[in-house]
Amino acid sequence: MPNPKPLGKELCRCIKKVRKTVKVRPGQNRSLKGKEKAAIGICVKSVLQSRGKTLKRFKCTPKPYIRTQPLKSK
């Protein structure tokens, strides 16, 4: 069984890929910063929340770093 990828690396890679293709909503910032915010939201939902975690803090450069917390149960 292969080792799972670290979540920080996977999240940063997802953000880079999604940022290129995402369309921002009308009224939102259409700059690179606005696209990156949208990409972060999409990737947090797909990468972290599918594993039962939520984002607390992260950084992609110079080395991917992520701090998560468990998803609140209802």
pLDDT for the residue numbered 44: 93
With CA atoms as reference, report the closest residue to 41 among 70, 60, 7, 18: 18
Quick check: is 2 in a domain?
A: no
Domain tally for the chain? 1
Torsion angle, CA of 39/19/17/52, rounded to 10 degrees? Answer: 0
pLDDT for the residue numbered 28: 75
Quick check: is 1 in a domain?
A: no
Q: How many CA atoms does the CB half-sphere of 57 hold within 13 Å?
A: 2
Structural domain that includes position 15: 7-70
Residues 50 and 11: their CA atoms lie apart, in Å, by: 12
Question: Higher pLDDT residue, 30 or 46?
Answer: 46
Give pLDDT tens digits for 18-37.
Answer: 999 988 888 777 788 889 99
Give pLDDT tens digits for 3-12.
Answer: 556 888 999 9
Quick check: is 23 in a domain?
A: yes
